[in-house]
Amino acid sequence: MSLYVDCHNHLADDIFGTDIADVIRGAQSAGVTASLVCAEFVKDFQRILHLHSEFPEFIAPCLGVHPVQREKDDKSKEISANLEHLIPAEPLMMSNVNLMFAVGEIGLDFQPRIAPNSDYRDIQREVLRRQVKFAMENDLPVNVHSRSAGKPTIQTLKECNAKNVLLHAFDGKPSAAMEGIKEGYFFSIPPSIVRSEQKQKLVKTIPLDHILLETDSPALGPDRENRNVPENIRISCEEIARIKNISIKDVQDMTFSNSLKLFPKLSGITNVIETE
Protein backbone atom coordinates (compact mmCIF):
# COMPACT_ATOMS: atom_id res chain seq x y z
CA MET A 1 0.00 0.00 0.00
CA SER A 2 1.44 3.36 -1.01
CA LEU A 3 1.12 6.16 1.49
CA TYR A 4 0.95 9.94 1.39
CA VAL A 5 2.51 12.75 3.39
CA ASP A 6 0.63 16.04 3.48
CA CYS A 7 3.65 18.33 3.54
CA HIS A 8 1.83 21.59 4.24
CA ASN A 9 -1.51 22.36 5.85
CA HIS A 10 -3.18 24.34 8.61
CA LEU A 11 -5.10 21.83 10.70
CA ALA A 12 -4.76 24.18 13.68
CA ASP A 13 -7.16 26.58 11.95
CA ASP A 14 -10.32 27.32 13.91
CA ILE A 15 -12.40 25.81 11.11
CA PHE A 16 -11.21 22.38 12.29
CA GLY A 17 -11.95 23.08 15.94
CA THR A 18 -14.99 20.85 16.31
CA ASP A 19 -14.18 17.85 14.10
CA ILE A 20 -10.41 17.57 13.93
CA ALA A 21 -10.43 13.93 15.07
CA ASP A 22 -12.83 13.02 12.25
CA VAL A 23 -10.69 14.94 9.74
CA ILE A 24 -7.58 13.04 10.85
CA ARG A 25 -9.36 9.69 10.74
CA GLY A 26 -10.55 10.48 7.21
CA ALA A 27 -7.01 11.36 6.18
CA GLN A 28 -5.57 8.19 7.66
CA SER A 29 -8.24 6.07 5.96
CA ALA A 30 -7.20 7.67 2.65
CA GLY A 31 -3.57 6.68 3.23
CA VAL A 32 -2.19 9.92 4.68
CA THR A 33 0.43 8.77 7.17
CA ALA A 34 1.72 12.16 8.38
CA SER A 35 0.71 15.79 8.26
CA LEU A 36 3.05 18.76 8.52
CA VAL A 37 0.93 21.38 10.26
CA CYS A 38 2.22 24.91 9.72
CA ALA A 39 1.83 28.01 11.83
CA GLU A 40 1.08 31.45 10.49
CA PHE A 41 0.88 33.39 13.74
CA VAL A 42 2.39 32.95 17.20
CA LYS A 43 -1.10 32.20 18.49
CA ASP A 44 -1.06 29.03 16.37
CA PHE A 45 1.96 27.54 18.13
CA GLN A 46 0.23 26.13 21.19
CA ARG A 47 -2.66 24.74 19.17
CA ILE A 48 -0.24 22.92 16.86
CA LEU A 49 1.76 21.54 19.77
CA HIS A 50 -1.45 20.42 21.46
CA LEU A 51 -2.51 18.59 18.29
CA HIS A 52 0.88 16.91 18.21
CA SER A 53 0.43 15.74 21.79
CA GLU A 54 -3.02 14.37 20.91
CA PHE A 55 -1.95 12.75 17.64
CA PRO A 56 1.82 12.20 17.96
CA GLU A 57 1.89 9.55 15.22
CA PHE A 58 0.29 11.90 12.69
CA ILE A 59 0.84 15.61 13.43
CA ALA A 60 4.30 16.99 12.61
CA PRO A 61 4.63 20.57 13.94
CA CYS A 62 6.11 23.40 11.87
CA LEU A 63 6.49 26.68 13.77
CA GLY A 64 7.30 30.01 12.18
CA VAL A 65 6.12 33.55 11.39
CA HIS A 66 4.25 33.99 8.11
CA PRO A 67 5.02 37.11 6.03
CA VAL A 68 1.39 38.24 6.39
CA GLN A 69 0.33 39.06 9.94
CA ARG A 70 -2.69 40.67 11.64
CA GLU A 71 -3.02 44.18 12.99
CA LYS A 72 -2.79 44.05 16.79
CA ASP A 73 -5.87 46.24 17.33
CA ASP A 74 -7.83 45.01 14.29
CA LYS A 75 -7.47 41.27 13.68
CA SER A 76 -9.36 41.57 10.40
CA LYS A 77 -6.62 43.76 8.90
CA GLU A 78 -3.66 42.03 7.25
CA ILE A 79 -0.23 43.63 7.48
CA SER A 80 3.31 42.85 6.38
CA ALA A 81 5.42 40.96 8.91
CA ASN A 82 8.16 42.86 10.71
CA LEU A 83 10.88 42.06 13.23
CA GLU A 84 8.58 42.76 16.18
CA HIS A 85 6.55 39.70 15.20
CA LEU A 86 9.64 37.56 15.88
CA ILE A 87 10.03 38.76 19.47
CA PRO A 88 7.39 36.43 21.00
CA ALA A 89 7.95 33.71 18.38
CA GLU A 90 11.68 33.04 18.66
CA PRO A 91 11.80 31.93 22.31
CA LEU A 92 8.82 29.62 21.76
CA MET A 93 10.48 28.13 18.71
CA MET A 94 13.69 27.57 20.64
CA SER A 95 11.97 25.98 23.63
CA ASN A 96 10.05 23.60 21.32
CA VAL A 97 12.73 22.99 18.71
CA ASN A 98 12.93 19.28 19.49
CA LEU A 99 9.26 18.91 18.57
CA MET A 100 9.58 20.80 15.28
CA PHE A 101 9.81 19.02 11.94
CA ALA A 102 10.43 22.27 10.02
CA VAL A 103 10.41 26.03 10.40
CA GLY A 104 7.29 27.34 8.75
CA GLU A 105 5.28 28.80 7.36
CA ILE A 106 7.84 31.47 6.51
CA GLY A 107 8.62 33.37 3.33
CA LEU A 108 7.76 36.45 1.32
CA ASP A 109 4.41 37.91 0.24
CA PHE A 110 4.75 40.83 -2.14
CA GLN A 111 1.09 41.39 -2.93
CA PRO A 112 0.76 45.19 -3.34
CA ARG A 113 -1.81 45.45 -0.55
CA ILE A 114 0.61 43.70 1.84
CA ALA A 115 4.00 45.06 0.73
CA PRO A 116 3.36 48.22 -1.30
CA ASN A 117 6.99 49.34 -1.52
CA SER A 118 10.59 48.23 -1.08
CA ASP A 119 10.69 49.17 2.62
CA TYR A 120 8.08 46.54 3.48
CA ARG A 121 9.75 44.01 1.20
CA ASP A 122 13.18 44.54 2.71
CA ILE A 123 11.81 43.99 6.21
CA GLN A 124 10.06 40.80 5.08
CA ARG A 125 13.37 39.59 3.68
CA GLU A 126 15.04 40.17 7.04
CA VAL A 127 12.26 38.29 8.87
CA LEU A 128 12.79 35.42 6.43
CA ARG A 129 16.59 35.48 6.81
CA ARG A 130 16.33 35.35 10.60
CA GLN A 131 14.10 32.30 10.48
CA VAL A 132 16.20 30.52 7.86
CA LYS A 133 19.23 31.11 10.07
CA PHE A 134 17.36 29.55 13.02
CA ALA A 135 16.42 26.56 10.86
CA MET A 136 19.98 26.00 9.69
CA GLU A 137 21.40 26.34 13.20
CA ASN A 138 18.97 23.65 14.38
CA ASP A 139 19.25 21.37 11.34
CA LEU A 140 15.62 21.88 10.31
CA PRO A 141 14.08 22.26 6.84
CA VAL A 142 12.06 25.35 5.93
CA ASN A 143 8.44 25.30 4.74
CA VAL A 144 8.16 28.39 2.54
CA HIS A 145 5.44 30.75 1.28
CA SER A 146 6.19 32.85 -1.81
CA ARG A 147 3.05 34.61 -3.03
CA SER A 148 3.75 37.16 -5.78
CA ALA A 149 7.42 36.74 -4.86
CA GLY A 150 8.72 33.60 -6.54
CA LYS A 151 12.02 34.97 -7.81
CA PRO A 152 12.78 37.13 -4.73
CA THR A 153 12.06 34.23 -2.39
CA ILE A 154 14.38 31.86 -4.22
CA GLN A 155 17.05 34.55 -4.44
CA THR A 156 16.82 35.27 -0.70
CA LEU A 157 17.01 31.56 0.13
CA LYS A 158 20.09 31.23 -2.09
CA GLU A 159 21.70 34.20 -0.34
CA CYS A 160 21.08 32.43 2.99
CA ASN A 161 22.67 29.25 1.58
CA ALA A 162 19.47 27.40 2.48
CA LYS A 163 19.46 23.80 1.26
CA ASN A 164 16.52 21.92 2.81
CA VAL A 165 13.69 23.90 1.29
CA LEU A 166 10.04 23.26 0.46
CA LEU A 167 8.33 25.92 -1.63
CA HIS A 168 4.64 25.33 -1.07
CA ALA A 169 1.95 26.21 -3.64
CA PHE A 170 4.53 28.12 -5.68
CA ASP A 171 2.76 30.70 -7.86
CA GLY A 172 5.74 31.77 -9.98
CA LYS A 173 6.76 30.81 -13.48
CA PRO A 174 8.30 27.42 -14.25
CA SER A 175 11.54 29.19 -15.20
CA ALA A 176 11.72 30.68 -11.68
CA ALA A 177 11.02 27.28 -10.16
CA MET A 178 13.89 25.77 -12.13
CA GLU A 179 16.26 28.16 -10.37
CA GLY A 180 15.12 26.53 -7.14
CA ILE A 181 15.54 23.06 -8.62
CA LYS A 182 19.19 23.90 -9.32
CA GLU A 183 19.58 24.51 -5.58
CA GLY A 184 17.91 21.20 -4.70
CA TYR A 185 14.64 22.75 -3.52
CA PHE A 186 11.34 20.85 -3.48
CA PHE A 187 7.90 22.06 -4.57
CA SER A 188 4.61 20.81 -3.10
CA ILE A 189 1.43 20.68 -5.14
CA PRO A 190 -2.08 21.25 -3.68
CA PRO A 191 -5.42 19.87 -4.95
CA SER A 192 -6.20 23.27 -6.51
CA ILE A 193 -4.00 22.10 -9.38
CA VAL A 194 -7.18 20.78 -11.01
CA ARG A 195 -8.34 24.38 -11.48
CA SER A 196 -4.97 26.11 -11.87
CA GLU A 197 -3.31 26.35 -15.26
CA GLN A 198 -0.23 27.82 -13.56
CA LYS A 199 0.17 24.78 -11.27
CA GLN A 200 -0.34 22.43 -14.23
CA LYS A 201 2.44 24.17 -16.17
CA LEU A 202 4.64 23.99 -13.09
CA VAL A 203 4.16 20.23 -12.77
CA LYS A 204 4.96 19.71 -16.44
CA THR A 205 8.33 21.37 -15.88
CA ILE A 206 9.44 20.23 -12.42
CA PRO A 207 11.01 16.75 -12.31
CA LEU A 208 9.14 14.25 -10.16
CA ASP A 209 12.08 13.80 -7.81
CA HIS A 210 11.56 17.42 -6.67
CA ILE A 211 7.77 17.21 -6.15
CA LEU A 212 5.91 16.70 -2.88
CA LEU A 213 2.19 16.68 -2.09
CA GLU A 214 0.28 19.11 0.10
CA THR A 215 -3.28 20.22 0.68
CA ASP A 216 -2.83 23.60 2.40
CA SER A 217 -6.07 22.67 4.18
CA PRO A 218 -8.44 24.39 4.69
CA ALA A 219 -7.46 26.39 1.58
CA LEU A 220 -6.49 25.42 -2.00
CA GLY A 221 -8.96 22.60 -2.40
CA PRO A 222 -10.31 21.27 -5.70
CA ASP A 223 -13.10 23.84 -5.50
CA ARG A 224 -13.09 27.24 -3.84
CA GLU A 225 -16.39 26.90 -1.98
CA ASN A 226 -15.69 23.93 0.27
CA ARG A 227 -13.24 23.40 3.10
CA ASN A 228 -10.19 21.49 1.94
CA VAL A 229 -9.07 18.44 3.98
CA PRO A 230 -5.94 16.25 3.96
CA GLU A 231 -7.67 13.26 2.35
CA ASN A 232 -7.88 15.39 -0.83
CA ILE A 233 -4.14 14.78 -1.24
CA ARG A 234 -5.02 11.98 -3.66
CA ILE A 235 -6.41 14.62 -6.04
CA SER A 236 -2.97 16.25 -6.25
CA CYS A 237 -1.40 12.85 -6.83
CA GLU A 238 -3.84 11.83 -9.55
CA GLU A 239 -3.50 15.12 -11.43
CA ILE A 240 0.30 14.98 -11.34
CA ALA A 241 0.14 11.45 -12.73
CA ARG A 242 -2.20 12.58 -15.50
CA ILE A 243 -0.04 15.55 -16.48
CA LYS A 244 3.19 13.57 -16.49
CA ASN A 245 1.54 10.53 -18.11
CA ILE A 246 2.83 8.16 -15.45
CA SER A 247 1.12 5.86 -12.98
CA ILE A 248 -0.48 7.08 -9.78
CA LYS A 249 1.66 4.52 -7.94
CA ASP A 250 4.84 6.10 -9.32
CA VAL A 251 3.75 9.51 -8.05
CA GLN A 252 2.79 8.08 -4.65
CA ASP A 253 6.08 6.28 -4.23
CA MET A 254 8.32 9.14 -5.35
CA THR A 255 6.54 11.87 -3.40
CA PHE A 256 6.55 9.73 -0.25
CA SER A 257 10.28 9.09 -0.67
CA ASN A 258 10.90 12.79 -1.34
CA SER A 259 9.02 13.69 1.85
CA LEU A 260 11.24 11.47 3.99
CA LYS A 261 14.31 12.89 2.28
CA LEU A 262 13.41 16.52 2.97
CA PHE A 263 11.86 15.96 6.41
CA PRO A 264 13.99 13.20 7.99
CA LYS A 265 12.17 13.38 11.33
CA LEU A 266 9.15 11.89 9.56
CA SER A 267 10.87 8.51 9.59
CA GLY A 268 10.04 8.37 13.28
CA ILE A 269 6.28 8.64 12.77
CA THR A 270 5.64 7.20 9.31
CA ASN A 271 5.69 3.65 8.06
CA VAL A 272 5.67 1.98 4.68
CA ILE A 273 3.33 -0.97 4.25
CA GLU A 274 4.37 -3.26 1.41
CA THR A 275 1.87 -5.55 -0.24
CA GLU A 276 2.21 -7.97 -3.10
Q: How long a stretch of residues is the chain? A: 276
Determine whether the annotation assigns residue 105 to a binding site.
yes
Q: Do the annotations mark residue 8 as ligand-binding? A: yes
Rounded to 5°, the CA angle 250-256-2 comes to 60
Upper half-sphere CA count for residue 169 (Cβ side, 13 Å): 24
Q: Give the separation between CA 128 and CA 64, rounded to whole angstroms.
A: 10
Residue 48's CB: how many other CB atoms inside 10 A? 23
57 is in an annotated binding site: no
End-to-end CA distance of the chain: 9
Q: Is 123 in contact with 81 (CB distance < 8 Å)?
A: yes
Residue 168 annotated as lining a ligand binding site: yes
> What DSSP string describes 152-182?
HHHHHHHHTT--SEEEET--S-HHHHHHHHH
d(CA 206, CA 192): 17
Residues at the annotated binding site?
A: 8, 10, 105, 145, 168, 216
Residues at the annotated binding site for a divalent metal cation?
A: 8, 10, 105, 145, 168, 216
